[in-house]
């Protein structure tokens, strides 16, 4: 029994041999602190889980001590701060729920397992914190309207200091462990805990204000802390709901595309899809390779990409890589007569973007497509083709909200031999790239 307890707190034999991964690309995108949600990148190492457990213990003890003083004193400022600390402590609950249920094997009904229960637990925690914040806000407003004396002012101040010390201990602990395992997310959580500590000091100021003869100081501080909790509830609910709806941080998609750049043989990344199932990431990536690549070479590229993805994204549980011909040529004898005679693509390389502009066949017909490897924020693209009867304008729009693949909504007119301009614009900047497309020899209209 004692061995199990030591293992749970990180002192058992399973906690030896920690270390960070040698290939650092951050945490696959920016991660902030959200109540009700543990950052999945932290949960990918035993040391990170150990830090979560100890943070839970320290903050739970801190909140319990504060709660005793709340009951004795009736301080609404301390009540709000206690709820704030409880909100931080219970972020470990969804992770614990996920780990317990993850032991169950996938079934015919739940083919992906029960990782989604972690999101449901996160929603429940956010709702509990919201309800508690409403109670704290009601009490603060009631005290503003109907002031009542606060007992044990000295103990209220001491409880505020306990809140500060508890958060500071957690802050130092998270930051140190975060640096050990190279986790930017855990380091950010540490600095968040340090900020929470200053919130606890506000309780001390409220107690001092009451002691100096300003009884409304306590409910005013309580109301300010409650407003901060409402802001956290809003942020956290967005994070949990986004994950439940298969949303991911934009940085994850960028990291997947970046990982593909490290793999020789990948000509382009056609599309990227990713979603969280619990604290594990699942990704689907469509790639394009040279037409001359053999089956063995394609298999080698696929395996190399999976290895790179695992190195770039520690939370990755599974990556499905599929081969997708960018031109999607129809079967012989079907489709348009020019399907196999597209002009050579135009390589785009400028400050605003880098990629490939080409005419491709799609299920909806021919389209002008810009496949982007790198781009500026808020990039827009338009192609203007010089025609004898006047310019032809094709606006390129994101395909399925994929800002790395822009396509025209209509087919470019025949013939496909012309001079044109690609106009790129982003944040008050514009670049015009002249180019020419020439149809293959022997192709006539």
| pLDDT, greater one: 341 or 20 | 341
Write the pLDDT tens digit of every residue in 204-214.
999 999 999 99
CATH code 1.20.1510 region(s) in the chain:
2-244
pLDDT at residue 411 in the model: 86
pLDDT band at 47 (very low <50, low <70, confident <90, very high): confident
Average pLDDT over residues 252-279: 88
Least confident span in 234-243, 295-304, 421-430: 234-243
Helix (H, G, I), strand (E, B) or coil at 418: strand
pLDDT at residue 303 in the model: 93
pLDDT at residue 29 in the model: 46
pLDDT at residue 250 in the model: 77
For the whole model, what pTM was predicted?
A: 0.56
3-state secondary structure 252-321: HHHHHHHHHCCCCCCCEEEEEEEEEECCEEEEEEEEECCCCCCHHHHHHHHHHHHHHHHHHCCCEEEEEE
**Joined tokens for residue 136:** 């704290």
Average pLDDT over residues 24-50: 55
Write the pLDDT tens digit of every residue in 54-90.
888 898 999 999 999 999 998 989 988 888 888 777 7
Q: Which of 382, 379, 443, 381 is nearest to 417 (CA)?
A: 443
| pLDDT, greater one: 94 or 339 | 94
Q: What is the CATH number of domain 346-437?
A: 2.60.40.10
Long-range contact set of residues 307-312: C-beta below 8 Å, sequence gap at least 24: 308/259, 308/260, 308/262, 308/263, 309/256, 309/259, 309/283, 309/285, 311/21, 311/23, 311/259, 312/23, 312/25, 312/28, 312/255, 312/256, 312/258, 312/259
Write the pLDDT tens digit of every residue in 383-405.
999 988 888 999 999 887 777 88
Write the pLDDT tens digit of every residue in 130-189.
887 888 888 889 889 988 888 888 999 999 999 999 989 988 888 888 787 666 666 767
The highest-level CATH class for domain 2-244 is mainly alpha
CATH code 3.30.70.1350 region(s) in the chain:
250-323
| pLDDT, greater one: 3 or 298 | 298
Write the pLDDT tens digit of every residue in 347-360.
999 988 899 999 98
Examine the pLDDT at 25 and tell me if it is beyond 70: no
Least confident span in 16-25, 106-115, 169-178, 218-227: 16-25
Examine the pLDDT at 4 and tell me if it is beyond 60: no
To the nearest whole number, what is the mean pLDDT of the chain? 80
CATH code 2.60.40.10 region(s) in the chain:
346-437
**Which residues make Cβ contacts (< 8 Å) with residue 240, sequence separation at least 6?**
34, 36, 37, 119, 122, 123, 126
Which of the listed CATH numbers 2.60.40.2250, 3.20.20.140, 3.30.70.1350, 3.30.200.20 matches domain 250-323? Answer: 3.30.70.1350
| pLDDT, greater one: 425 or 106 | 425
- Of the ranges 33-42, 204-213, 226-235, the best mean pLDDT one: 204-213
pLDDT at residue 342 in the model: 66
pLDDT at residue 11 in the model: 46
């Amino acid at each position: 029994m004692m061995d199990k307890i030591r293992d749970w707190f990180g002192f058992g034999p399973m906690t030896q041999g920690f270390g960070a991964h040698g290939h650092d690309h951050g945490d696959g995108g920016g991660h902030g602190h959200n109540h009700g949600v543990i950052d999945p990148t932290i949960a990918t190492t035993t040391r990170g889980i150990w830090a979560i457990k100890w943070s839970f213990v320290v903050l739970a003890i801190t909140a319990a001590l504060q709660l005793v003083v709340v009951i004795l004193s009736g301080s609404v400022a301390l009540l709000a701060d206690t709820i704030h600390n409880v909100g931080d402590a219970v972020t470990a609950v969804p992770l614990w729920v996920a780990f317990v249920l993850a032991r169950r094997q996938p079934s015919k009904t739940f083919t992906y397992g029960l990782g989604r229960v972690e999101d449901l637990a996160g929603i429940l925690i956010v709702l509990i914190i919201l309800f508690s914040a409403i109670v704290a806000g009601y009490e603060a407003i009631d005290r503003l309207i109907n002031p009542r004396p606060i007992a044990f002012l000295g103990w209220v101040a001491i409880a505020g200091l306990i809140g500060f010390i508890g958060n500071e201990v957690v802050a130092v602990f998270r930051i140190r462990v975060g640096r050990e395992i190279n986790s930017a997310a855990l380091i950010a959580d540490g600095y968040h805990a340090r900020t929470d500590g200053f919130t606890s000091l506000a309780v001390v100021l409220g107690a001092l204000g009451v002691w100096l003869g300003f009884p409304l100081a306590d409910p005013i501080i309580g109301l300010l802390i409650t407003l901060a909790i409402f802001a956290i509830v809003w942020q956290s609910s967005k994070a949990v709901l986004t994950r439940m709806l298969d949303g991911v941080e934009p940085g994850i998609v960028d990291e997947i595309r970046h990982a593909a750049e490290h793999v020789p043989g990948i000509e382009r990344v056609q599309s990227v899809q990713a979603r969280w199932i619990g604290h594990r990431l699942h990704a689907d990536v469509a790639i394009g390779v040279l037409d001359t690549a053999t089956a063995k070479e394609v298999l080698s590229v696929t395996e190399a990409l999976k290895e790179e993805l695992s190195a770039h994204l520690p939370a990755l549980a599974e990556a499905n890589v599929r081969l997708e011909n960018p031109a999607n040529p129809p079967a012989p004898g079907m489709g348009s007569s020019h399907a196999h005679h597209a002009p050579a693509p135009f390589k785009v390389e400028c400050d605003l973007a880098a990629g490939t502009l080409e005419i491709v066949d799609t299920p909806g017909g021919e389209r002008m497509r810009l496949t982007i490897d790198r781009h500026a924020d808020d990039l827009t693209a338009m192609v203007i083709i010089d025609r004898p009867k006047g310019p032809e304008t094709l606006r390129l729009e994101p395909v399925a909200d994929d800002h790395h693949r822009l396509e025209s909504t209509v087919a470019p007119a025949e013939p496909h031999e012309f001079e044109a301009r690609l106009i790129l614009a982003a944040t008050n900047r514009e670049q015009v790239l002249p180019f020419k497309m020439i149809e293959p020899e022997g192709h006539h209209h």
